[in-house]
Structure 1
Amino acid sequence: MTIAAEPLAPVDPDTFRALLRRQAASVAVVTVAGDPPVGFTATSFTSVSLRPPLVSFCLARSSSSWPTAARATYVAVHLLGEDQQDIARTFATSGIDRFAAHPGWRYGPYGVPLLDEPVARLLCRVTQRVPAGDHAIVLAEPLSGSHGDGAPLLYHMGRYAALRPSTKES
């Protein structure tokens, strides 16, 4: 016996947003050399491949950061710590000079701005940009990296959050 399935349509944008708010995501700030430099908060950062090492993040092509990111050869990805919510908010705010609002940075290799004291930092070479709906997926190869201590900053249900140590013993 065959059961016919009704054709399904993609979920609407509001439902899609409501569903994905339930996914906890790490919070990163991506910085790009430019005149002026740009930076933005991203919760779409992920590892892609081990061989070769590749990472990705997504950026709206309507973003004020996109024209610079669309031309960039190098970017830095900063994974923020639980105590860096203010940095995440600053780099998520549109219409401001984000680097003037956050003085804790310096220029690094290739003129890429490097934020002070993230949980982890990767300096990357952009290898590909893939159009995806109203965004672009940026693939990049890490060239160098460093990490510190501390718990990561997460984004969940429209709010910043941190990991809490388990009270259960393993």
Structure 2
Amino acid sequence: MGSLDADTFRTLLRRQAATVTVVTAPGSPPAGFTATSFTSVSLRPPLVSFCLDRGSSSWPTLERAAHVGVHLLGEDQHEVARTFATSGIDRFAAHTGWRYGPHGVPLLDSPVAWLLCRVTERVTAGDHAIVLAEPLLGHYAHGAAPLLYHEGRYASVAPSAVVARQAA
């Protein structure tokens, strides 16, 4: 039995909803890209991961970066996600809402949450690299809803319904 072809694999995985993140790294120029592969890995010690195509324009910078910023985008940040997903542009010139943080890491304005991380390991996995990183600093916005990616479109979480319990 052979492996799934790339198009079928991509179609199947589009059924999974994922939070939209932008990963940034210091450099000249700085690098940044939109990712839906971000996840927590461990609580003790705290570790997160994300994946990046080793053929992407951001890879040379990420391959050398000692620190990165991970930004969980809010439901109103579609344009930020599109900007950092666009190839062939200066993503930081196109998106002006950012500043330099510790270790020279670009930090985006107003995400749902951000983490400043130290890269601990890079693992080659097919045409991608899995980057493991240790969060050093972080911040989150209270009550902010995340931006999701599902079926090839940006989406948001439906408001929670209040369910009343009846006394038995």
TM-score range, shorter chain: over 0.9
AA partner of residue 30 (structure 1): V
TM-score, normalised via structure 1 length: 0.94
Determine the structure 2 residue equivalent to 1:44: 37
* Consecutive unaligned residues in structure 2, runs of 5 or more: none
AA partner of residue 35 (structure 2): A
Which segments of structure 1 move beyond 4 Å, counting only runs of 4 or more? Answer: none
AA partner of residue 156 (structure 1): H
Determine the structure 2 residue equivalent to 1:152: 146
Say yes or no: does 1:127 pair with 2:120: yes
Distance (whole Å) between structure 1 residues aligned to residue 50 and residue 146 of structure 2: 17
Deviations 1:50-98 (A, max 9, x none): 1110000000000000000000000000000000000000000000000
* Consecutive unaligned residues in structure 1, runs of 5 or more: 1-7
Say yes or no: does 1:161 pair with 2:159: no
Q: What is the SS of the residue equivalent to 2:103?
A: helix
Q: What is the SS of the residue equivalent to 2:119?
A: strand
* Aligned pairs, number: 163
How far is the alpha carbon of 1:167 from its aligned partner?
A: 3.7
Determine the structure 2 residue equivalent to 1:21: 14
Distance (whole Å) between structure 2 residues aligned to residue 52 and residue 64 of structure 1: 31
Cα RMSD (Å) of the superposition? 0.9
TM-score, normalised via structure 2 length: 0.95
How far is the alpha carbon of 1:108 from its aligned partner?
A: 0.4
Q: What is the SS of the residue equivalent to 1:118?
A: coil
